[in-house]
Amino acid sequence: MNEIETLEDFYSIKFSDRPASRQQGIGDFNVFKLEDVIHAGGRVAVKYTRRDFYKICLSTGANLFHYADKTVRVDGTSLLFFNPQTPYKWEPLSDDNAGFFCIFKEAFFSEKLRTSLATLPVFSANGKPFYCLDDSQGTFVADTFKKMIAEMHSDFKYKQDLLLSYVTELVYFALKLQPSEELHQAPDARSRITNLFIDLLDRQFPVSSAQDRLLLRSPKDYAQHLYLHVNYLNDAVKTTTGKTTSKLIAERVTTEAKIMLKHTDWNVAEVGYALGFEDAAHFNNFFKKNADISPARFRAQETALVG
């Protein structure tokens, strides 16, 4: 798999020196005008890879976003969210791209809010990362980013808390754009168990080497790690999500398989082994059942599209 890009990598790629406005301390937070970073980085090709930081971006213009196993064309004004679990690449289709983005680590949130970003739908590996905005919505988000930039240059004693409030405002602004039924989570035991399961599932990825292969494959494996009876886990997940535990695991493994087939040079057997399959035939059957195509044919199609 591609190496994970760190914050240090980001600064070394985009700037010869770290910008004076870089926020030191918890979270390594920073915010930029998109066009300033594009110009600073020149025409350096953006790699399709995972980053070890979170990113929220407001973008205008025409762009292609390669995200997990998907490629999405985004035109106009859009609000985008990226997480460390999912690889991505931004490909501008026009020369007039503008906007803003901020980057930060998990600790920027968790230290103050005592919550995990992975539990928020916009940062979930299976969540919705792209939001098309109308003019008024775009203006609101742009104004919020402008406040961040102004605050980065202030000497306000509590500016880090204020920056956190602006980031939080963007997250909940996006959540309000989703249908309410997608966001409803009853505060009961089943919902808490389901959240724990999904968080544990997300933390199994990425699988970056065969030596770090996927070990949790079945509902029983996850139940044991959560100190639950497998029937209790299955009941909670089914009641909360409408899908079985096995189905959610299969969907996540299939997504990771597509990413690996599309963006690595590992052969099919190596991809299958890294994902916990002992033989290539088992992996082929699994992939074909869940993706309606064989791994080899999927890779051939993706290669043809890129070519």
215-249 per-position pLDDT tens digit: 899 999 999 988 889 999 999 999 988 999 999 99
pLDDT band for position 20 (cuts 50, 70, 90): very low
The structure's pTM equals 0.62
Q: Which domains does the chain have, with CATH numbers?
A: 7-183 (2.60.120.280), 189-306 (1.10.10.60)
Q: What is the mean pLDDT of residues 299-307?
A: 76
Q: What is the mean pLDDT of residues 85-114?
A: 80
Asked if pLDDT for residue 283 goes beyond 80, the answer is yes
**Given this model, what pLDDT does residue 238 score?**
93
**Given this model, what pLDDT does residue 25 score?**
40
Can you tell me the distance from the alpha carbon of 258 to that of 264, in angstroms, rounded to the nearest whole number?
10
Can you tell me the distance from the alpha carbon of 87 to that of 78, in angstroms, rounded to the nearest whole number?
19
Radius of gyration of the chain, Cα coordinates, nearest whole angstrom: 20
Q: Which of 55-64, 110-119, 192-201, 291-300 has the lowest mean pLDDT?
A: 110-119
Q: What is the mean pLDDT of residues 61-85?
A: 83
φ/ψ of 187, rounded to 5, equals -80, 60
As given in the structure block, the two tokens for residue 272 are: 């299958």
243-261 per-position pLDDT tens digit: 999 999 999 999 999 988 9
Name which residue leads in pLDDT, 226 or 137.
Answer: 137
**Given this model, what pLDDT does residue 77 score?**
92
**Given this model, what pLDDT does residue 186 score?**
44
Name which residue leads in pLDDT, 276 or 106.
Answer: 276
**Given this model, what pLDDT does residue 184 score?**
40
The CB density around residue 265, as the number of other CB atoms within 10 Å, is: 6
pLDDT band for position 147 (cuts 50, 70, 90): very high
Can you tell me the distance from the alpha carbon of 305 to that of 157, in angstroms, rounded to the nearest whole number?
52
3-class SS of residue 290 = helix
Q: What is the mean pLDDT of residues 94-105?
A: 87
**Given this model, what pLDDT does residue 235 score?**
94
